[in-house]
Amino acid sequence: MGQDMCRLFAFLGTGPERLDAYLTGPAPSLRALSGAHTDGWGIARFDGGRPYVTKMERAAQDDPVFAKCVEGDRAEALIAHIRRASVGGVSHENTHPFHYGPWAFAHNGTIPGAEAARENLLAGIPLEVRNNVKGTTDSELAFHRILGILEERYDTVDVPVAPALRAVGKVFRDFRREHEGSAEELAMNFLLAREEGFIATRLNRSLYARFGEGEFGAFTMLASEPMGLGADGWWEIPEGHLVCVTQPGRLEIMGIP
């Protein structure tokens, strides 16, 4: 399995749990890990059915904005990302998470060939969705391909988490098929989230889940590696599978639909 390019974190809880141990605490936390992932950080919180994204094209460990943003932070729904760039330069536009409508998206991995096929990939996305593409990463292209499928199938991207599973699965399968015969490694840990839950895929990058009871009730977390005060309670998502979380304290693992 290839070397991780970025780190992901997702949380869905019954109430606003404190997330310091995972975001800013001692290793392993996102801030502690950002010494090896210096090309940007981003956090999406959700409120009123939409994501509110804060991101910077700097290392989280060196950025006072990151510390101020997450110190004492509480959230019911949140995703976070620290970046080590592969496709696309270091810039605000290329920093994850990306967002559109009710959705936010982050990616750990690389999609070989996406950069060369950029114009063809964009041409297959409905214009209204395509116009939201701001950067030059393979990750943002993958996100907008998912959104484009939702727009074409439902005339809106504002659909519940469960119907979005098939769109995620189709993009995952399409890139896998397009990559057949290539000697370059394809890695697709996608994380697609909205306020009510999230979907994640695992391919050639590590991915772990944890769920339990917190101060305000049930929670489910997802991360590129066990985080917090210890590795207890984390377990590995099987390679080549998809995770769907629509309720705190639970998750569903399945093959790619």
Q: How far apart are CA 255 and CA 103, in angstroms?
A: 22
3-class SS at 146?
Answer: helix
Q: Identify whether 166 is part of a domain.
A: yes
Q: Is the pLDDT of residue 126 over 70?
A: yes
pLDDT tens-digit readout, 212-241: 999 999 999 999 999 987 667 999 999 999
Contact 233, 219 (CB under 8 A): no
pLDDT tens-digit readout, 7-36: 999 999 999 999 988 999 887 899 999 999
The mean pLDDT of the chain is 93
Q: Is the pLDDT of residue 2 over 70?
A: no
Looking at the structure of the chain, the number of domains it has is: 1
The arithmetic mean of pLDDT across residues 198-212, rounded, is 96
Q: Identify whether 156 is part of a domain.
A: yes
pLDDT category at 257 given cuts 50, 70, 90 is: confident
Beta-sheet strands, E only, within the chain: 7-18, 41-47, 50-56, 74-82, 98-100, 103-108, 189-194, 197-201, 208-214, 217-223, 235-236, 241-245, 252-255
State what percent of residues in the chain have pLDDT above 70.
98
Select from 169, 179, 175 the least CA-distant residue to 149.
169
Q: Identify whether 31 is part of a domain.
A: yes
Tokens, residue 194? 């909205």
The arithmetic mean of pLDDT across residues 190-209, rounded, is 97
Q: How far apart are CA 200 and CA 198, in angstroms?
A: 7
Q: Is the pLDDT of residue 4 over 70?
A: no
Q: Identify whether 116 is part of a domain.
A: yes
Q: Is the pLDDT of residue 1 over 70?
A: no
pTM: 0.96
Q: What is the DSSP string of 150-180?
A: HHHHHSSS---HHHHHHHHHHHHHHHHHHTT
Select from 66, 25, 58 the least CA-distant residue to 39.
58
Q: How far apart are CA 76 and CA 220, in angstroms?
A: 10
Q: Identify whether 25 is part of a domain.
A: yes
pLDDT tens-digit readout, 144-183: 999 999 999 999 999 999 999 999 999 999 999 999 888 9
- Domain holding 126: CATH number? 3.60.20.10
83 vs 72, higher pLDDT:
83
Residue numbers of the domain that contains 246: 7-255
Q: Is the pLDDT of residue 84 over 50?
A: yes
Q: Identify whether 2 is part of a domain.
A: no
- Return the pLDDT at 69: 87
Contact 122, 80 (CB under 8 A): no
Q: Identify whether 76 is part of a domain.
A: yes
The arithmetic mean of pLDDT across residues 65-83, rounded, is 91
249 vs 3, higher pLDDT:
249
Q: Identify whether 43 is part of a domain.
A: yes
